[in-house]
Structure formats: structure tokens, C-alpha cells
Chain A
Amino acid sequence: MTGTTVLTQAAARLLLAPILVISVAVLVNGYAHVGDGFSAGVIAALGLLLQYLAFGREHSDRLLRLALAPAAAFVGLLGALAVALVPLARGDAILTHSPAPGTDAIYIGRVELITAVAFDVTVYVLVIGCVVGFVRTMIRTDEEANSR
């Protein structure tokens, strides 16, 4: 990889964990504070893409299993569909969240255990998978063009 310095690599390695922590924080705080699954997913994906920049695709893929990104996108999509469709089985409309409005929810710290948050988590997984997947597909195309 040309143009990357030891400094970039050190920064990328040091920043990865904080970025992921921040993204999870944005995700779980989504219902009380600024941010939601989408923003959290993009933050995490940017952190992961930073590793591509610093260490190259192959190395990052090996270390972080990033080849699974497209799979993660579709796991997220299936999860979102599952959360959306489960209420149908109970006779409610699609995407009816529980517990119902007005009733009490269980709290773990600031996290509420409601299905809307589960839905947000699936969006989070999907967004990470898609953003990393888009860039990864481009990198792979470039690699193949250059190797020919």
C-alpha cells in the first residue's frame, strides 16, 4: 500500500476500538439521544474502512473477517423483516412494536428492551454490511483490473 505511513497505521489501529464503542453507544442511546441505527452503522463502517486505508484490503479482511460484510447486510435485512413480520403471527399489523404504548418497558441502564430497538439493531447490522460491502466490491474490482 503506497502513501500510508506508520503514523496512519498507528492511528487507525488506536481509533478502531473507540470508533466501534462510540457506534454502539450511538446505537443503544438512539431512543433517548441523538442518533439511531443508521448513523451508528455508518460510524462503525467508517471505522472499519479506515483499516482498509491503513493496512490494505487483504490484511484487514484476514484480521477483521470483513469478507463477511455482504452476508451481514443480508442477515440484517432478514432480521428487519423478522421483527416486522412477527406481529402478524399475533394478529397485529406489520411492525407493531411491543411493549404497547403506555405500558412499562424493562430498562437495563439506559437501554430499553423494546422491539423498536431490536429493529434499529438490524438496521445497524445492515448498514455496516452494505457500506463496507460497497467499498469492498470497488476495491476488489480495482484489484482484479490491475492484476490483469
Chain B
Amino acid sequence: MAVAALWAGGGGSVDVPWAPVLDLRLELTLDGLGALYSLLAAGVGLAVFAYSARYLPLHLAHQGRHARDALLFYALLTLFMVSMIGLATAQDLILLFVFWDITAIASYFLIAFDRQEAASRWAALMALMVTGISAVALLIGALILYAEYGTFSLPLLFERMEAGTTVTVAAGLMAAAGLAKSAQAPLHFWLPRAMTAPTPVSAYLHSAAMVAAGVLLIGRLYPFVASSQLLLDCLLAIGALSIVVGGILALTRDDLKQVLAYSTISQYGYVVVMYGLGGAAGVVAASFYVIAHALAKSALFLTAGAVTEATGGERALTRLGGLARRLPLLAVASAIAVASVVALPLTAGFFGDELFFKAAVERGWPAAVAAVGAAALTFAYLARFWIGIFLGPLRSEAVNRLPALLVVPIAALAALLAVGGVWPGPIADLAGAAAESSLLAPASASVAYHLDLRAENLMALAAWALGATLVAAPVLWRAPALAFARLGERLGPERLYGKTLGALNRLSDRIHDIEVRDLRTRVAAVLLPGGILVALGFAATPTEGAYIAGAVTVDDLALVLVLTFVGAAAVAATRPRNQFVLVLTLAAVGFGLAAVYALAGAPDVALVAVLVETVVALLFLGAFALLPREALRREQTVAERPSRRWRDPLIATVSGLVVFVVVWGALSRPAPEASVAEDHIRLAESAHAKDVVTAIIADFRGLDTLGEVTVVAVALLGVAALLRRGRLA
């Protein structure tokens, strides 16, 4: 409501610096595109919320879960809605990315809402992986643009950009993220899996959020995309592929929600194709289509949920039928929704297809023929969906009466579609405004009924006729479509995803095995390559004057004595077999170094060194006390195994020598330029501090300290989780 009011008032914008050092701004503008998707997110969200209020208690009762879990559901749905509105209005690429990822995270938890089901968790992870990994492409694209034009702000970027390879690469990466989110082939496979989510989630995910976010991104970045004909052609090809793959697979599915899921892939393929067609006509058509589709598709998903609820859990088309007499209102409402998607007159969807056909005709006859074929496919699978549920003999034994709240939201969405069919003005205005934001030029959607033989009307008639033929004669397509589906299962991208994930898992397990088998090997694996690399670096640098041995005077006697003690303690630390003796020897090294700090005029550091050394020794002893005696005894003999006799000392010597050379080299060359330390000393006075170290910790580098103390507190949680299953008391 508020969004609608704000939009009617001419839109609004917020622009606040967020992290000015990083050049990030909270830049939100409610322009045409923002208004379109915000209205969808809020409007469809309202219907879904109303529906969930009745559906969710039933769902949770079926699953034997506590009714309190509903709170979590509403919180996540709200987060989803808010991040979607944020995404729609964001004018800054980084902000866009942040909202983008929030929608991914919210959808992860929503898809896995039935968390006791393994399939739900697998599906949620898949959705997160596909959309999350591709989101990195969005970030890379944004950074490329930033590197080139020095800003993340979209309006500024649109001003500064010049068509060229850089923009093409960046736009291509960002569009890829959008296509993955919109479940376009070949990254479409996550969407049908995500049907394991509760029905209201699917309805929302597939209409006004998540999947819509992908095309929203393409619409938002359209000026970049449109600067390259190659990208537009890619969009065209990917969209067309998605239409075909989604359409054919939708024909072969028996599960209600699966049919709708593949239908969504196919319908968003339409939108991508319309963007790919380019020009004002295509963009206007895409914007219009998104609205009509979102309303209709959410209504259809809610219908699927209501039907399943009414028949006591039935989800298969072949076991449903004849429900029109028992659920007349639902039948009519969903009929309007279906009619809108297949673009029958007197529904909003008709104009969507009219604009689509118009854009296709402008492109040329191959596009026009393909458009008719796509529309026929849509007609076929959605007619099959509706007829399968509502017509024919009644197959269900008992049909429950549906509560009003499960039907009213569907009826309301259908009513909107019907009103849009008679009075398309408001939707057309919104679509026009959205297209203006994408094109950065005036655009308007002019839609009306024309009772003549223009190309669009003939194409629509042809599509309906072809679609009706497909429905009437399944013989024509059944065998090839099923073969195609089987082929997809055997060789499709989903299989590749599973294999890649499995291989990565095995690789990670292997590395983990090697790593945890032996602590000494793990340390060696860091020290040896590190030592060799640094040594090579030193071998390549000139050594003249790099290593200075200063004079030793009588004043240094104390320092030399302490250092000798430290060296002796360090050598002694290589001997003991007993861990307790070892800890105490290492503590001796530490205390000796603390004395060195004190003698070198750094009392603050010395104090901290003493304290840290004490605590570390204590914690080591405590940890050893918790370990089984046999394990400790076994470890004591490791160093004496023949294979280790020479390896460990050798590695220690190499890395120790390299560190010695590094430190020597560094100390031989006092930095000539003024260091940060001098600034700190100078500033400490005005920061009310006489002790520079404390001023650095609490003031100059306060943010570091904040991060460090957070780590310490989290470590406490980690210890509690490891030792006592999270109990702190």
C-alpha cells in the first residue's frame, strides 16, 4: 500500500553514504522498474501471507511440527519481501549485490522449511549453490565496472559508460547471475527441485520474488546489456532454449507443482527473449509480461496447494479430475489465471502476448514463427494442467470443503487479471514506466483490442489452434517428449551438478584426511613451502648492505644474557618427549622474550607477553589433561619413528634459518620514510593518552580491537560447543 502511494506521489529516493571510504552508498530510488517489482513483491506477498495464515497451520499439523514454527516462516517471508523491495529500488551495484544475496539466503531457509526432509535440504542447498555461486559473477561484473568508471552508482555508470569489450564482459557476467536466478537453461534444474518447499513459498518464489529477481536484474542493467548485440543474441538464445526445455518438460510432468515449475522456467524464458529482442517494443513487452505472469502464476501455485489440501494430499495430475463441480470458485479463478498465461482475450495476459508478438514481428519472420510455437506449447501444458484437475470423471474419493482463506487470495488475483483484461490502463502505465527505467528513454505500452486481421491477432489465433491440437492429440508429442525428459535426466546439467558436488566433496575429504592425520605433517606443509619460497625470493635479491651486524657494547650485556637464555630454551624445547615438560620449556622461551621486550624499552608489550604466555601455558596444560593418556603417550614416540628421524629436524632447520634471515634483513634496514608509529606517538597527546600503546588499542585501531575481542568471545562459544555441546554454564 505504502509503495503504491509513494509511486502515485511521483516516486521517491533515498541516498545515504553507507561506507564512504569504500565509496558505497545506500542509494534507493523508486523508479518505474522499482515500483513494478516492489508492487509485485508487496501485492503478491499480501496474498501469500493471507493464504499462509490458513495453509501453514494445516501444513505444520501434517508434518507433526509445533505451530510456533510458523513465526519463523513469517519472519523469513518478510525478510524475503523486504530484500526484494530493496533489490528493486537499489541504484548501487554493491547494494544490489547485498540484497541479491539476502534473497538467496532467505530462499534457502524457506525452501528447506520442511527441514526434516532430506529432499528439502538438498533442494535448498542446490538453489543456494546455483544462485549464490552465480552471484559472484554479479560482484565481479560490478567490480569491473568500478575499476573502469570509478563508481558503483548506476545512474552515474549509465552516464559514463561507453559500449566496448569491458562493458560487454561486465554486463555478460551480471546477466549470467540474473539468468541463473531466473532459472534459465542450462541452470534451470534447481527450480523444479525447489518445489519441495511449502506451497506458499513456491507461489512467492516463482512469481514475485527470487525468480523475478533475475529478470529484474536484466531490466535494471539493460543499458549495459543493450550496448552489445552479442549479449542480446545470447539472451535470445538462452530464453528460447528455456522456453523449449521448460515447455516440453512441463508437458511430461505429472506432479502439479512440477508442471508449474517447468512452466515458470518457460515463462521467464519468454521475458528473457523479449529483452533479447531489443528495442523499446521488447522491453515494454517484457515489463508487461512480468506483471501478468506474476499474478497468474502465484494464483496457479496457490490453486495447486488448495487442490492438494482439498483432496487430502493428492499431487498427481493423473489421479485428479472432475473437481470443477465440487470447487466451482477455485475452478473459475484458476481458469482465469490459466487463460491469462495462455493469453486468451479479456485477461491481462492477452496484452502481454500481443506485445510479445509485436516485438517478434518487428524482429522478423523466424522470431515470429518461434513465438507462435512457444505460445502453443504454453497453451498445451497449461490446458493439460487445468483440464486434468477440474474436468473429466471425479477420481478423488472425498473432497474436503476448502476454508475461505485458501480460495479468496486466488480469487482476488484472478479478479485483478480479469480487470486488467478489460481495463489494462494501470498495468500498461506501470509497464511503460518500468521500460523507461530500463531504456533510459521515454516509453509507453499502448495496448487495446483490435478486431482486425493484423499479424498479432493472426499469430494468437494460430497459437491457440496449435495448442488445442497438442492437447487433443497427445500421441503427437508424448513419446518424443518423454524421451527428451529421460535424456535430460541422464545427461542434463543437474547430473553434472551432482557429479561436481560429489567430486568436490571427495576432494575436500581427501585433503582433510591428509591434514588431520598428523599435526606435524600439517605444520610442515605450511613451513616448508613457505620457507623455500621466501628463501628463493631472498636468493634473487641483492645482498650487499642488506645484512648489517651492529656493534655489541657493555650496555647490551643484560640483553645478550637474556637472548642466550632464550636460545638455549628454544634448543632445549626440541628435546623433551613429555608434553608437560615441553609446554613448560616453551613457556620459558616466552618469558625470556618478554624480558627482551622489557629491556628493549617496551614495557606494555612485555607485560602482555608475560600474561599471554601464562594463559597459553595454562590452556595447553588444561587441554593435555583432557586428552586420553594413551594418545599422549603414542604422540611422544612419533618423533623417533625412522621416517621422522630426519624429516622433522630438517624442516625445522630450513624454516628457522629462513625466518632468521628475514628478520635480520628487516632489522638491518630501518625504514627511511616516516612510519605510522610516529603519527601515533604524535597524536596520542590529543587523544588524551599518555600511553601510546593503550591509545592505539582503544582508539586509533579501535575497530581492530573490536574485531579481536569478538573473535575471543566466539572462541569461547567454540570451546563450549566442542567440549560441552554448547553448554556454557
Contacts and interface: CB of A to CB of B under 8 A. Distances in A.
A43 B729 contact: no
A147 to B, nearest CB: 14
B645 interface: no
A141 B724 contact: yes
B719 to A, nearest CB: 5
29 contacts: A30-B694, A31-B690, A31-B695, A34-B603, A35-B607, A49-B618, A70-B728, A73-B712, A77-B710, A95-B702, A97-B702, A116-B698, A119-B698, A119-B705, A122-B709, A123-B698, A126-B712, A129-B716, A130-B713, A133-B716, A133-B719, A135-B618, A135-B619, A137-B728, A138-B625, A138-B626, A140-B724, A141-B626, A142-B625
B687 A116 contact: yes
Contacts of B686: 101-102
Q: How large is the interface on B (under 10, 10 to 19, 20 to 34, 35 or more residues)?
A: 35 or more
A25 interface: no
Interface string B113-151: 000000000000000000000000000000000000000
Nearest to A112: B688
B720 interface: yes
A69 B659 CA distance: 39
Interface of B: 603-604, 607-608, 611-612, 614-615, 618-619, 622-623, 625-626, 683, 686-691, 693-695, 697-699, 702-703, 705-706, 709-710, 712-713, 715-716, 719-720, 723-724, 728-729
A80 B723 contact: no
B683 A76 contact: no
Interface string A84-125: 100000000011010101100100000010101101101100
B702 A36 contact: no
Interface residues of A, number: 56
A74 interface: yes
Nearest to A145: B626
Nearest to A100: B686
B448 to A, nearest CB: 53
A42 B611 contact: yes
- Give me the 6 closest cross-chain CB pairs, A-B, nearest first: A101-B686, A70-B728, A42-B611, A95-B702, A138-B622, A32-B690
Contacts of B611: 38-39, 42-43, 46
Nearest to A116: B698
Interface of A: 30-39, 42-43, 45-46, 49, 67, 70-71, 73-74, 76-77, 80-81, 84, 94-95, 97, 99, 101-102, 105, 112, 114, 116-117, 119-120, 122-123, 126-127, 129-131, 133-135, 137-142, 144-145
A135 B616 CA distance: 11
A35 B694 contact: yes
Given A39-B608, A84-B703, A127-B709, 7 more contacts: A31-B689, A31-B691, A34-B691, A36-B691, A97-B687, A133-B720, A137-B728
Given A116-B689, A142-B626, A84 B607 contact: no
A71 to B, nearest CB: 8
Nearest to A117: B698
A142 B625 CA distance: 8
B713 A77 contact: yes
Contacts of B625: 138, 142
B716 A70 contact: yes
Nearest to B628: A145
B688 A141 contact: no
B514 to A, nearest CB: 29
A36 B723 contact: no
B712 A114 contact: no
Contact of B622 (A31, A34, A105, A135): A135
A127 B706 contact: no
Nearest to A133: B716
B697 A67 contact: no
Contact of B713 (A31, A119, A126, A138): A126
B587 to A, nearest CB: 14
B697 A38 contact: yes
A30 B694 CA distance: 6
Nearest to B612: A42
A74 B689 CA distance: 27
Nearest to B21: A93
A122 to B, nearest CB: 8
Nearest to A121: B698
A137 B723 CA distance: 7
A29 to B, nearest CB: 8
A35 B699 CA distance: 15
Contact of A130 (B683, B698, B703, B716): B716
